[in-house]
A and B are shown apart, each in its own frame.
Chain A
Amino acid sequence: MAEFTSGFFMGDKATNGRILVVDDEADIRKVVRMTLQKAGYDVLEAENGEKAIETINAGENRLLLDVVICDIRMPKINGVEAIAYFRSNYPRVPLIVLTGFPDTDMATSMLRQGVVDYLVKPVEGEKLRESVARAMDQRELAHL
């Protein structure tokens, strides 16, 4: 049960929430982490869809992951496939797409699948934090 000893789970609300950032570029993961840590979030990283699925299925993440921020163009399992997986296996975890490619068709299809936001890089820190806060609200609602 060691995996269930995080401060958050134990009621000591040390962080505002746990976010998984999925992007194949380490630079992007780094700046998104920086931006979100400033707002008090706990950030996990995955470099592709396959790693993201591994991460969400690992131990306490299954229960404690609040929001996933996911790129589209990635090796192994790409963003579209990963998001489909999250939607069907973890429908309560809100998703945010953060992509380099402004594609209206893709955005429409993603929003229809229930992603909270379709953000196109470069996105300002403030906007990203707002989007995450909105996703967190959805998460809270889902728990009610």
Chain B
Amino acid sequence: MRDLTDSAVVSTLAPTKVAILGAGRGGTALLDLLYRIPSIEIIGIADRDSQAPGLQRARDLKIPVTEQAEELIANHGVNLIMDVTGDPQMERVIHLHRRPGADVLSGTASRVLWELVRHEANLQAELFHAEKLAGIGHFAAGIAHDINNPLQLILGLAENLVDETDIKTVHEQAMEIVEAVKRTSAISRDLTQYARKTSARDDVVVWLNGILDEALKIARYAASFHDITVVKQYEAGVDVKGNPDELLHVFVNLITNAVHAMDQGGGTLTMTTRAGGGATSVSIADTGCGMPPEVLSRIFEPFFTTKGPGKGTGLGLYNVKTIVNKMIGKIAVDSRVDEGTTITITLPSSEEAPP
């Protein structure tokens, strides 16, 4: 209980109020990082360019934006001004307008900070990739099954064709071979697409139902779907704004976990999408073993796993949470031992503003 009390005290302390100057790549990264820290409150972000990416991001996060840096610098509440404009003139502007008591981070210090933020982002990306590749190691059984079965069909048919004389049978079996080769080549296509590094592209509109279907296809390599009934309860046209690679990664993780939870005796995997009230939600539900409260409270911790040695990295749900946080989403977990688990992710809907 002591820990809880202590953290409650910390969270009631007045947050540090920060103003960010510059909404380019540096400002955006800083915004994303600081937004997730509870003891920091972002008072506003300024950039001369009204189209700067950080301003758009701040609007999404309901953080005040301005094109007038002076206004923000002079704001009464600000404790710390962080200048990531890279503009040498800005230091003079800050010193002209800032209130006494407001600290300033600029020049070399802000460049170092930007380096740290970028470094952290790179580490995060490496971590995703490492976890994804570690996961693919577990695909071996699924891949072997899905490649060797069609190969057996192809070989058997080809051996038969060597001395088959009925032209109709020759034709039919040759076509079967063609189809089997196509199915087999789809496996390497799916997996190489999934295994590649997540691109650091800008967020785009992503249709969730499509991503869920793709994730289901990938997850079939990672886990055995025998005796699993898949139920899709999709609402048509449900979309969010995000990185499709990251979303795919999130859903592959959740579906794989759900199926692993049902590896004793099977069950039902239900994938649901819903939209409404400016939010979009995706639920992945299983009827598997469920989790006791002591496990449930730790599932998002890095390196926490209940899977055997070499079976799980303990980074899957940690990465899921990181991606969802970045998208300003929420995760809710409902789990009961021997009944199953439902994980619901709620994300802001993509409000496709006309250009």
Contact = CB atoms under 8 A, between A and B. Distances in A.
Interface of A: 24-25, 27-28, 30-32, 34-35, 73-76, 78, 100-103, 120-125
Contacts of A35: 156, 159-160
A76 B156 contact: no
B155 A122 contact: yes
Nearest to B179: A27
A13 to B, nearest CB: 25
Nearest to B266: A75
B159 A124 contact: yes
Majority SS of interface residues in chain B?
helix
Interface stretch (B64-72, B140-148, B214-222): B140-148
A120 B148 contact: yes
B227 A31 contact: no
A27 B149 contact: yes
Given A35-B159, A122-B154, A76 B227 contact: yes
Contact of A78 (B146, B149, B226): B226
B153 A31 contact: yes
A12 B69 CA distance: 100
Given A28-B153, A73-B224, A100 B145 contact: yes
A73 B152 contact: no
B311 to A, nearest CB: 15
Interface residues of B, number: 23
Given A75-B227, A121-B151, A31 B145 contact: no
Contacts of A120: 148
Contacts, number: 67
Given A27-B150, A120-B148, A123-B155, 10 more contacts: A27-B153, A28-B153, A31-B155, A73-B141, A100-B149, A101-B144, A101-B148, A121-B151, A122-B148, A122-B154
B279 interface: no
Q: Across chains A and B, which 8 residue pairs bring their CB atoms closest together, nearest first?
A: A31-B156, A75-B226, A100-B148, A122-B151, A121-B148, A100-B145, A121-B152, A122-B152
Contacts of B170: none
A120 B149 CA distance: 10
B74 interface: no
Contact of A32 (B141, B156, B224, B266): B156
A43 to B, nearest CB: 13
Q: Label chain A's interface by main secondary structure.
A: loop
Interface string B175-217: 0000010000000000000000000000000000000000000
Which of A74, A100, A101, A102 is the most central at the interface, judged by chain B CB atoms within 10 Å of its CB?
A: A100
Contact of B145 (A32, A73, A123, A124): A73
Interface in B94-146: 140-141, 144-146
Contacts of A122: 148, 151-152, 154-156
Nearest to B162: A125
12 contacts: A27-B149, A27-B150, A31-B152, A31-B155, A74-B226, A75-B227, A100-B144, A100-B145, A101-B145, A102-B144, A123-B152, A125-B155
A100 B152 CA distance: 9
A31 B151 CA distance: 11
Interface centre among A76, A122, A124, by most chain B C-beta atoms within 10 angstroms, is A122
B98 to A, nearest CB: 67
Interface string B224-260: 1011000000000000000000000000000000000
Nearest to B224: A73
Given A73-B145, A75-B226, A125 B159 contact: yes
A96 to B, nearest CB: 14
B42 interface: no
Of listed B144, B151, B156, B224, residue having the most chain A CB within 10 A: B156
Nearest to B163: A38
Contacts of B144: 100-102
B52 to A, nearest CB: 53
Contacts of A74: 226
A30 B146 CA distance: 17
A122 B141 CA distance: 15
Contacts of A75: 226-227, 266
